[in-house]
């Protein structure tokens, strides 16, 4: 999860600055106006991926229901925020409330994950040099092939 976070964060930062070029390439010029909304949603994408990776690990450990414990309150938060934010800011408000909800989902799930695997939150989120060992091993194996 820590490696994925760094890789996706780097990609999101690049995409944040290149979105005006990337959107027309994939979807056409008529979607350029959605660049700012996409930038806001990138924040949610980052944290949603944290949630997804940890959820896959918990599901693999036989505890897929932890996602429900997370997503029930997050759905309520998203509904409440959308109700007010869309009314005041339109689609920009929807993007903000969705990104914020995904941040909350990641934080809640990290808490549940920490309790389930009996590891402190700081141990889960603090990067380590050894996190990159498997990435190095993949590249060293490709050099041999």
Is 108 within a domain? Answer: yes
- Tell me what the pLDDT averaged over the chain comes to: 91
| Structural domain total, the chain | 1
Is 65 within a domain? Answer: yes
What sign results for the dihedral spanned by CA atoms 44, 47, 53, 54?
negative
Q: How far is CA 89 from CA 41, 78, 97, in A?
A: 15, 15, 11
Domain span holding position 73? 2-132
> Which candidate, 108, 117, 95, places its Cα nearest to that of 50?
108
Between helix 35-60 and helix 66-89 the angle, nearest 10°, is 170
The pLDDT tens digits of the residues spanning 127-139 come to 888 888 877 887 7
Between helix 91-117 and helix 66-89 the angle, nearest 10°, is 160
pTM over 0.75: yes
Is 6 within a domain? Answer: yes
Is 94 within a domain? Answer: yes
Give the model's confidence band at 102: pLDDT under 50 very low, under 70 low, under 90 confident, else very high: very high
pLDDT of residue 145 exceeding 60, the answer is no
Beta carbons within 10 angstroms of residue 115's beta carbon: 11
Is 118 within a domain? Answer: yes
Is 70 within a domain? Answer: yes
């Amino acid at each position: 999860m820590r490696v994925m976070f760094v890789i996706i964060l780097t990609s999101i930062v690049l995409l944040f600055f290149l979105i005006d070029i990337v959107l027309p390439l994939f979807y056409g010029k008529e979607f350029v106006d959605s660049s700012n909304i996409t930038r806001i949603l990138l924040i949610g994408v980052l944290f949603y991926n944290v949630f997804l990776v940890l959820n896959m690990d918990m599901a693999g450990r036989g505890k897929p229901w932890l996602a429900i414990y997370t997503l029930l309150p997050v759905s309520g938060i998203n509904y409440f925020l959308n109700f007010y934010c869309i009314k005041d800011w339109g689609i920009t408000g929807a993007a903000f409330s969705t990104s914020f909800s995904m941040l909350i989902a990641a934080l809640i799930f990290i808490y549940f994950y920490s309790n389930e695997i009996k590891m402190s939150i700081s141990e889960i989120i603090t990067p380590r040099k050894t996190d990159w060992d498997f990435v190095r091993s993949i590249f060293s194996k490709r050099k041999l092939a």
